[in-house]
A = this chain, B = another copy of it.
Amino acid sequence: MKAVALLGGPKRNWPAKLQKRLATSDFKIGVDRGSLLLLELGFQPDLAIGDFDSLRPAELAQVEKSVKDIRYSNPVKDDTDTELMITAACRDYQVDQLEIYGATGGRIDHFLSNLFMFLKPQLQQFAPRISLIDQQNLVKFLSPGENVIPPIAGYHYFAVFCLGSTQKLNIRSARYNLTNFSTTYPRIFTSNEFLDQQTPCKIDFSYGQVVVVYTRDLDRFLNA
């Protein structure tokens, strides 16, 4: 099942295709204020998770009336709403592909906790199913072993980010290759490029959490 989740990050970072991705998804999830944003876009969430403290009472009532499965989180607990949502989607609903929007561009602490959540052992198993998507970026979480990274139209660059200790990282069939790289702390390799629009890049590593960020510049003459 393919699912789309909307978090509460700023609308200005949504990609143009969000509406279409929601329309064609099997399952829609709102996280906290994202539940209301889904309703505003004309979509009924199948699942909503959050402490909903950013909603006015009338807004919360609207969410509660519209959502089949609503789950209330405890704001003082260790797990973030996004983490609870991923566990619910992947374990309870067997979602095997989950695109997350609204995770970037606002509060830096929220973005970082979304980026680093797969360092938690209990979440690692779900990482390959997840993408974070915004106006300029697509983030994919890799697994140890070999990963085939196809070019995606519209993204000129890709970056490889070691979230923490990583062993024997190789990047092959890319403009800038890397051989047998190991690190004990986070490292990022920015602005790599595919060889052409057809040839996938290959990334393998023996240990660690590695992220690929497909990315593009803003239209250089707009910078809106």
Contact = CB atoms under 8 A, between A and B. Distances in A.
A21 interface: no
A190 to B, nearest CB: 4
How many interface residues does chain A have, given as a range? Answer: 35 or more
B161 A185 contact: no
A10 B224 contact: yes
A112 B161 contact: yes
Given A109-B190, A113-B190, A188-B113, A224 B11 contact: yes
A131 interface: no
A186 B215 contact: no
A215 B163 contact: no
A184 B165 contact: yes
A97 interface: no
A144 interface: no
Interface of A: 8, 10-13, 33, 37, 54, 75, 80, 104-110, 112-113, 116, 119, 136-137, 139, 157, 159, 161, 163-165, 184-188, 190-191, 213, 215-218, 220, 223-224
Copies in the complex: 2
B109 A157 contact: yes
Contacts of A54: 217, 220
A112 B211 CA distance: 12
Given A12-B12, A163-B186, A186-B186, A191 B136 contact: no
A110 B161 CA distance: 11
Given A10-B218, A11-B223, A165-B185, 14 more contacts: A8-B223, A12-B224, A80-B190, A104-B105, A107-B137, A107-B216, A108-B136, A108-B139, A108-B159, A112-B161, A116-B186, A119-B185, A164-B186, A186-B186
